[in-house]
């Protein structure tokens, strides 16, 4: 998971007011996020203790849906969506695996089988590799 980003009619929302207070994540939610929304820039112990990525993502993006859902629901929703659209498994089913080359269309079509909508597939310009897959939901 990179993030869960609310938008309004195609406009990405960020740092919405009022600025929410980040509540430290504990218990099962902490374990679930640690396993599924990995804080790659930090050691596991630092990430679990200080929670820098999750705090950043919630204050930047979760703040824009705080009137509809609370912090716990924001993270729970991200985890449920990850499981619902298991993109790594989907790519494996379509025989798309790391270390080989595929066309944009092959990746696009594989992801679309589970999203039922056009995914936002991004590749790195510097190197021919898959960088990000975005899914728009409403």
Catalytic residues: 2, 57, 61
User: What tokens were used for 74?
Assistant: 């924001």
DSSP, res 135:
-
Whether the CB-CB separation of 129 and 123 falls below 8 Å is answered with yes
Which helix (H) or strand (E) covers residue 133, if one does?
strand 130-134
- What tokens were used for 55? 């705090």
């Amino acid at each position: 998971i990179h993030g869960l980003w609310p938008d309004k009619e195609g406009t990405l929302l960020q740092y919405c007011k009022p600025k929410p207070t980040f509540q430290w994540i504990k218990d099962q939610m902490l374990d679930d996020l640690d396993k599924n929304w990995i804080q790659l820039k930090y050691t596991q112990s630092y990430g679990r203790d200080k929670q820098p990525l999750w705090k950043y993502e919630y204050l930047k993006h979760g703040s824009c849906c705080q009137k509809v859902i609370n912090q716990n629901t924001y993270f729970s929703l991200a985890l449920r969506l990850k499981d619902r659209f298991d993109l790594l498994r989907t790519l494996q089913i379509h025989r798309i695996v790391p270390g080989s080359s595929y066309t944009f269309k092959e990746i696009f079509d594989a992801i679309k089988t589970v999203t039922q909508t056009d995914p936002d597939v991004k590749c790195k310009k510097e190197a021919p590799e898959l960088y990000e897959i975005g899914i728009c939901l409403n």
